[in-house]
Amino acid sequence: MKKTFFSGPRYRLAKSRLFFYAVCAFSFVSLIPLFLILGELVQKGYKQFNIDLFTRVAPSSMEAMLARISDDPLPGGILNGLTGTLLILTIAILLAIPSGIATGIYLAEKQDKPLARFVRSLSDLLQGIPSIVIGVIVYIWVVKPMSGYSALAGSVALAIMMLPMVIRSTEESLKMLPLSLKEAGLSLGGSYSRVMMRILLPSAFSGLFTGSLLAVSRVMGETAPLLVTALGASTVNWDLSHPVSAVSLLIWEFYNDPNLAGLIWSSSLLLLLLVLGINLFAKSIAQKWKIQ
Amino acid sequence: MENSINTDYILELKEVSVAYSPGKNAVDKVSAGICPHTVTAIMGPSGCGKSTLLRAINRLHELYQDITTTGEILLKGQNVFKMNPMKVRRLAGMVFQRPNPFPTMSIYGNVLAGYKLNNIRLSRSEKDAIVEQSLRSVNLWEEVKDSLNQKGTFLSGGQQQRLCIARTLALKPELLLMDEPTSALDPISTARIEELILELKEQYTTIIVTHNMSQAARISDNSMFMYLGELVEFGTTKQMFTKPVNKRTEDYLTGAFG
Amino acid sequence: MKDRLFKAALLLAACLIILLTAGIVYGLVSQSVDAFTHFGIWHFITSADWDSRNERYGALPFITGTVVTAVLALLFCIPFSFSVSLFNGEYFRNRKPAVFVGSVVDLLAGVPSIVFGLWGFYTLRPVLVGLGVSEQGFGVLLASMVLAVMIIPYASSLSAEFIGMVPNELKEGAYSLGATRLEVIQRVSLPVAGSGIFASYVLAFGRALGETMAVTMLIGNTNHIPRSLSDTGNTMASIIANQFGEAGGLKLSSLMAIGLLLFLITASINFVAKYIMKVVSR
């Protein structure tokens, strides 16, 4: 056997070292975009991040243009977007979470039954559908029959996107519970539904709650499906059967209208803070409530 | 209804078989009678069907597909398979291998879990009385009386297991089924549970699965020895440990296998 | 009695998923029938025409645009996500640096698509213009760069798990034969975790295929097959987002047909990934 420099330990260790540094460097670079994005939004958006943002509806292009000409700060905020997002999300949650939890329970209970396996793969399939496709489907099934864009249509679209995540987290957190918990409940003479509602679901609650919150934060910033369902509105609207705006939809409007571009940053900053805030909150809950 | 109900027995097994898959009996035609106020130990090497038999008594097998139980099990003369399974499970309370207090409930709530699950409404004073009495009967009252509102999962393993026994006793069962209740516990906690089992004999009938032979010798009046699903020998513990009838029992007890 | 009601409700909820999926597939198919019968399925897929005035529609430019941007994005993303997964799954497994990197990367997955679009438009595009890639900066290259950042979390978090699942005994065996850390990774960890890592890249690829908003804002929205990486184009998702609002008749049906094709592509990609993972985890 011939020993060369390249089979010697010093070369091999140096190579190993070098690889490690490369891994660290690339990992570090992967973190930069998030901070760049945050930094840019804060830097450009903090001036417009004021009380108006929360209390006034978005200005029209005309108003914004006049303000720009006279060099005033842009008037108005994103109140119509905030209320719209709130309305759409609330209804989406009401639609997705109960049925998602029920399906998750079904899957956790029936594990390997053919129907359960089928439903599980369909849920995976739903999760992979691009959001714009969900948008156009809801356009066909809800917008067209109701002959108009509506908040409800937006909620249905977001609910369909949330559903697989809720199902998955319910199933996973129920499956993590020891089997003996259920047996103990039944051994005390509890009926199946009572054991599920009083013992198993509460024990799985933290996982379930985290999963649902993450699902909410994931769909909160969605824009594409709302474009073809909720459309957008220039005023505050609480009527489910009428078009409604959303924070993400407003950002899209601002982006497309040079007169309104000044509002992009504060509204994006708010959206990002909301989404990341919910995200972090959900994860901290998962940490805190972990069952020993 | 049969006329020849033997009222001496609180529990009677008649040719009980349990199969996890058709044709393969994990418990094979076991017949036995259990007298009230006794402790019966079920012994045998692992996989011999002792837990399976125990779980057949309160019909836990029905939770799973593909498990079939045949034969008759009479609890106080009544065939359990003709009773409401929820009632059977209430009358035959079960304690599991690992302590499993309900993680979302306080100690207080854990003791009352059975009532909650059966939707039985109690007044505050009734609740307090049941909790105190049940915790006293497992010698846990003094240790936890000031922390009744804490989660049961904060207790030590031995305390948790006694809490689980209290949770079962709170429902005043006819029969206590224990599935290796000390296998996850340290020696001191084990000794306390064993003491407790002996104390409970005054009021309850206990069947305990164990693969710890000396434990069986210490606490049981009668013993069953099971092997490959069959009930090989059933008699008083004293007799079984001194002069076993069956060769396989003797081999097991003297450590020739197991 | 109550139990039976409860179980019936669970079953009903599960059946709702079936109904929902059936509704989605049926809706897409029924709406695209017009386009498919008018142009012929094969011709629709292979035609590069997208001509509103003469009502001639074909999906090829968008299929190409979608595949090219997604492949490019995956290529850009791999060095980074691979490093992150090694960082989190091997070098700093379960330790503070890994927790930090893991949570930051996870947060990246939470950033809304439209915010990524803005970042690409206002920050990355001027850089490309400055480098002289193209006059406006819009195009396949810009879109795939932003897509690459967007899919890093999807590609890295799952593969970190697979790398972390490599049994310690195996690694210790290799160390005790005198292997360096890199050699252990090369010879032990990667062969064992390889198919899992591959599957997570396939999943990330599926994500890239369906991304809508950021791509719509960055790719330039021209309806022809991109001639180079710096050229503009459209993806299947972006053409739908762009033209759906004003569409009717044959054009609407053509957009629906593109939606159906996109659905089929992403569904099969996801299916492949899930299948690999199922085989691996057995």
pLDDT digits (tens, 9 = 90+) for A3-29: 677 777 888 899 999 999 999 999 999
pLDDT band at A79 (very low <50, low <70, confident <90, very high): very high
What is the per-residue pLDDT for B4?
Answer: 44
**Residue A125 and residue C117: Cβ atoms within 8 Å?**
no
* Strand partners for B94: B177
Q: Is A199 on the interface with B (CB under 8 A)?
A: yes
Interface test with A, best of B63, B117, B163, B180 (most A CBs within 10 A): B117
pLDDT digits (tens, 9 = 90+) for A134-143: 999 999 999 9
CA distance B242 to chain A (A): 36
What is the per-residue pLDDT for C231?
Answer: 93
**Residue C17 and residue A141: Cβ atoms within 8 Å?**
no
pLDDT band at B132 (very low <50, low <70, confident <90, very high): very high
| Range with lowest mean pLDDT among A54-68, C107-121, C150-164 | A54-68
Task: Closest CB to B87: pick one of A182, A185, A189.
Answer: A189
Task: Closest CB to C17: pick one of A23, A122, A140.
Answer: A122
pLDDT band at A104 (very low <50, low <70, confident <90, very high): very high
Contacts of A168 (CB under 8 A, 6+ apart): A104, A123, A127, A211
Closest to A232 measured CA to CA, from A261, A254, A217, A260: A254
Which residue reads 């939809």 in tokens?
A249
Catalogue the long-range contacts made by B61-64 (C-beta closer than 8 Å, 24 or more residues apart): B61/B18, B63/A182, B63/A183, B63/A186
**Residue A190 and residue B117: Cβ atoms within 8 Å?**
yes
- Give the separation between CA A261 and CA A245, rounded to whole angstroms: 17
pLDDT band at B2 (very low <50, low <70, confident <90, very high): very low
pLDDT band at B56 (very low <50, low <70, confident <90, very high): very high
pLDDT band at A217 (very low <50, low <70, confident <90, very high): very high
CA distance C27 to chain A (A): 6
For B22-167, where are the E strands, in sequence order? 24-34, 39-43, 68-75, 78-79, 92-95
Closest to B117 measured CA to CA, from A183, A103, A111: A183
- Give the separation between CA B26 and CA B20, rounded to whole angstroms: 7
- Give the separation between CA C279 and CA C33, rounded to whole angstroms: 37
Q: How far is CA A161 from CA A93, A122, A125, A279, C264, in A?
A: 11, 13, 11, 17, 17
Q: Reply yes or no on whether the pLDDT at A112 is more than 90.
A: no
Task: Closest CB to C213: pick one of A20, A223, A280.
Answer: A223
**In chain A, what residues touch C103 (CB-CB under 8 Å)?**
283
| Range with lowest mean pLDDT among A276-290, B88-102, C56-70, C140-154 | A276-290
**Residue A190 and residue B60: Cβ atoms within 8 Å?**
no
**Residue B60 and residue A186: Cβ atoms within 8 Å?**
yes
Rounded mean pLDDT, C197-214: 95
Q: Reply yes or no on whether the pLDDT at C245 is more than 90.
A: no
Q: Reply yes or no on whether the pLDDT at B1 is more than 70.
A: no
Beta pairing, strands B230-236 & B222-227: antiparallel
Q: Reply yes or no on whether the pLDDT at C178 is more than 90.
A: no
What is the per-residue pLDDT for C172?
Answer: 86
DSSP assignment of C220-253 equals B--SS--SSTTS-B--HHHHHHHHSTT--HHHHH
What is the per-residue pLDDT for B101?
Answer: 92
What is the per-residue pLDDT for A290?
Answer: 63
Residue C10: how many other CB atoms lie within 10 Å = 21
Is the model more confident about B141 or about C245? B141
Task: Closest CB to C14: pick one of A103, A191, A255.
Answer: A103
Using CB atoms within 10 Å of the CB of residue A252, give its burial: 0 to 12 exposed, 13 to 18 middle, 19+ buried.
buried
**In chain C, what residues touch A248 (CB-CB under 8 Å)?**
112, 114
Rounded mean pLDDT, C140-151: 96
**CB C150, CB C207: distance < 8 Å:** yes
Q: Reply yes or no on whether the pLDDT at C233 is more than 90.
A: yes
B-contacting chains (≥3 CB pairs under 8 Å): A
What is the per-residue pLDDT for A236?
Answer: 92
For A15, nearest residue in chain C (alpha carbons): C182
Q: Please report, rounded to a whole number, the percentage of residues in chain A having pLDDT higher than 90.
A: 74
Structure tokens at C226: 């991109």
pLDDT digits (tens, 9 = 90+) for B197-238: 999 998 999 999 998 888 999 999 999 999 999 999 999 999
Q: Is A292 on the interface with B (CB under 8 A)?
A: yes
Instruction: Classify domain A79-288 by CATH number.
Output: 1.10.3720.10
**In chain B, what residues touch A202 (CB-CB under 8 Å)?**
104
What is the per-residue pLDDT for A292?
Answer: 42
pLDDT band at B3 (very low <50, low <70, confident <90, very high): very low
* Strand partners for B32: B13
What is the per-residue pLDDT for A1?
Answer: 60
Structure tokens at C204: 């990330």
Closest to C146 measured CA to CA, from C38, C72, C248, C244: C72
What is the per-residue pLDDT for B7?
Answer: 58
What is the per-residue pLDDT for C1?
Answer: 63
Question: Which residue intervals of chain C are DSSP H helices?
Answer: 2-39, 41-46, 60-86, 96-110, 113-119, 125-130, 140-164, 168-176, 181-184, 190-210, 213-218, 236-243, 249-281
Interface test with C, best of A36, A133, A158 (most C CBs within 10 A): A133
Structure tokens at A89: 């999300």
CA dihedral B157, B159, B164, B165 (to 10 degrees): 120
Rg (C-alpha) for chain A, rounded Å, is: 25
**In chain A, what residues touch B97 (CB-CB under 8 Å)?**
180
Q: Reply yes or no on whether the pLDDT at C203 is more than 70.
A: yes
Which residue reads 């759409």 in tokens?
A88
ipTM of the complex: 0.94
Q: What is the pTM of this model?
A: 0.89
- Give the separation between CA C16 and CA B254, rounded to whole angstroms: 61
For C185, nearest residue in chain A (alpha carbons): A16
CA distance C227 to chain A (A): 26
Q: What's the number of CA atoms in the CB half-sphere (13 Å) around residue A142?
A: 28
* Through-space distance between the first and last CA atoms of chain A, rounded to whole angstroms: 56
